[in-house]
């Protein structure tokens, strides 16, 4: 719900704020501007999670998420809406980082593989619902999709009732044989995970940001249809994530990355050659399946290479890299769109994904 849930309303918002200078670009970054502030505040949130505990930080963050998210419904000023998205970014820094760390505290080994796949699937299935609701609400008015963030308050109630934290997780484990220092350091493996996270998220966000404009470039379509198409993409990702545990029993991390990036690349190539709305569907489905494999794989890898006492900080660094990728995604894509077409970006970055697949296929471990 951080950004993509208002994606079906972007075209209508572009028309509503057409008299605002640079409104085309400002409307597009409504999805990505929270990412910059998620990236800025995630390391800080990670440190607080390790020092104060998971539940206090998560409670505050979920509450802020609901307040900041719904603010766009009440505002009719593009700059104030952007300010609300900034606060949303601060909130997501706490929720995203906090839940990654909390999952790492509560689950290990095969249970971690199973739960991370399940968590990714639930997030994606929720995305299907949110995007469908957003498409329907956007047909009423551009600001109605912001009401979806009211669901955060329902989530906060259940979080307080049922989720417990492992309080010892925030204490340094000085008895660990692997612990050479109680000072958090960014190791080589963690650096590779962070770089990969940036690339993955930059390419992932191409669909929620660019798909509405890509579809309208082929044929004028309704906001609800855009929501349905995005829903198919996320549904494919959610279904694939449910099979992540089974995949982990047969393939190692590098093999899962190779397979996921290959499917993702084929999906983008199919979208690049699409000449009609219907031809986009197979590409969306394959890209979604690839997403469903690689994202839980990345998070499990991070949790398995990070020390428990510094898990919050490691999760904060990953969250920072993911959302820097989100923020820079439209900035990276804009020159290509300006001088050529939206369709070309799917071809170019399909090649990037194919290269990543070959790189991981060539790694043994």
Q: How far apart are CA 337 and CA 330, in angstroms?
A: 10
Instruction: Tell which residue, 106, 120, 67, has the closest CA to residue 90.
Output: 67
- How large is the average pLDDT for residues 86-106? 92
Output the average pLDDT for the chain.
86
The top-level CATH class assigned to 4-164+183-361 is mainly alpha
Where residue 186 falls among pLDDT bands split at 50, 70, 90?
Answer: low
Q: Where are the domains of the chain?
A: 4-164+183-361
pLDDT digit string (tens) for 324-346? 887 788 888 888 877 777 888 89
As given in the structure block, the two tokens for residue 320 are: 């920072």
| pTM across the whole model | 0.80
261, 358 Cβ separation under 8 angstroms: no
- How large is the average pLDDT for residues 78-106? 92
211, 231 Cβ separation under 8 angstroms: no
242, 117 Cβ separation under 8 angstroms: yes
- How large is the average pLDDT for residues 308-319? 88
* Range of weakest confidence among 1-10, 80-89, 102-111: 1-10
- How large is the average pLDDT for residues 38-59? 91
Give Cα 89 to chain centroid, integer Å. Answer: 12
- How large is the average pLDDT for residues 123-142? 82
- How large is the average pLDDT for residues 146-164? 92
Q: How far apart are CA 92 and CA 322, in angstroms?
A: 12
As given in the structure block, the two tokens for residue 64 are: 């802020």
pLDDT digit string (tens) for 219-267? 888 777 887 888 889 889 989 999 999 999 999 999 999 999 999 999 9
- What pLDDT is recorded for position 131? 73
Q: How far apart are CA 338 and CA 330, in angstroms?
A: 12
Q: How far apart are CA 65 and CA 149, in angstroms?
A: 8
């Amino acid at each position: 719900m951080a950004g993509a849930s208002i994606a079906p309303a972007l075209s209508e918002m572009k028309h509503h704020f057409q008299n605002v200078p640079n409104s085309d670009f400002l409307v597009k970054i409504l999805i990505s501007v929270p990412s910059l502030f998620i990236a800025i505040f995630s390391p800080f949130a990670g440190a607080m999670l390790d020092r104060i505990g998971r539940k206090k930080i998560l409670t505050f963050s979920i509450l802020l998420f609901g307040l900041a998210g719904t603010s766009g419904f009440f505002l009719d000023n593009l700059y104030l809406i952007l300010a609300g998205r900034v606060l949303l970014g601060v909130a997501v820094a706490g929720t995203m980082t906090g839940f990654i760390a909390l999952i790492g505290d509560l689950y290990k080994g095969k249970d971690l593989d199973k739960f991370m796949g399940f968590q990714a699937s639930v997030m994606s299935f929720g995305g299907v619902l949110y995007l469908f609701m957003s498409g329907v609400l956007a047909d009423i008015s551009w600001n109605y999709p912001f009401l979806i963030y009211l669901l955060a308050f329902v989530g906060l109630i259940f979080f307080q009732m049922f989720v417990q934290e492992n309080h010892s997780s925030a204490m340094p484990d000085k008895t660990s044989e692997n612990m050479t220092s109680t000072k958090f350091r960014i190791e080589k493996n963690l650096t590779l995970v962070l770089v990969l996270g940036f690339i993955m998220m930059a390419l992932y966000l191409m669909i929620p940001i660019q798909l509405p404009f890509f579809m309208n470039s082929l044929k004028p379509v309704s906001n609800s249809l855009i929501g349905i198409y995005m829903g198919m993409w996320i549904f494919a990702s959610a279904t694939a994530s449910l099979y992540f545990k089974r995949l982990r029993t047969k393939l190692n991390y590098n093999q899962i990355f190779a397979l996921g990036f290959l499917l993702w690349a084929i999906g983008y190539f199919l979208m690049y050659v699409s000449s009609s709305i219907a031809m986009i569907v197979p590409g969306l489905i394959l890209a979604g399946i690839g997403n469903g494999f690689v994202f839980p794989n990345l998070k499990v890898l991070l949790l398995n290479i990070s020390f428990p006492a510094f898990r919050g900080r490691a999760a904060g660094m990953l969250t920072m890299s993911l959302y820097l990728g989100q923020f820079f995604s439209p900035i990276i894509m804009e020159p290509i769109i300006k001088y050529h077409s939206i369709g070309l970006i799917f071809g170019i970055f399909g090649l990037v994904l194919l290269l990543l697949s070959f790189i991981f296929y060539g790694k043994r471990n």
